[in-house]
Amino acid sequence: MLGLGLGTDIFYDSSTETEMKAFDQTGYRKYYDFRTGIHISQEIIYSRISLIIQEGIYLFLTDQVNHKTMYNRGIVRFAITDQWLVSLSMKSHLHILDYPELGLGFRF
């Protein structure tokens, strides 16, 4: 089965201050650790496993380190039950992988 979707994201990156110092950027604010955006997603579903690709853009709280406007995520999701999900994903900025994410979700 194939799926399409839209969604919102909130990211937290505690390394923002360190990265800004490494790039000689000044003016760090604590809220720079947060980023928000919207994404579109394409999903391939087989039994209880989903493979998902998402393309997103930052809105409101943007990337203050690299000043990127777009991000991508690759996700492998497993449905434990009809409601509970676990996932492993990797966020990137095209060819630069940022960090892995572990997720626990609930489907209504």
Give the lowest-confidence range in 13-17, 40-44, 87-91.
13-17
Model confidence pLDDT, tens digit, residues 51-102 = 999 999 999 998 888 888 999 999 999 999 999 999 999 988 877 787 788 9
Number of domains in the chain: 1
Where is mean pLDDT largest: 11-15, 41-45, 59-63?
A: 41-45
DSSP labels, 2-55: EEEEEEEEEEE-TTHHHHHHHTT-----GGGGEEEEEEEEEEEEETTEEEEEEE
**What's the pTM value of the predicted model, to 2 decimals?**
0.78
| Gap between the Cα atoms of 5 and 30, Å rounded | 31
CB neighbours of residue 55 within 10 Å: 12
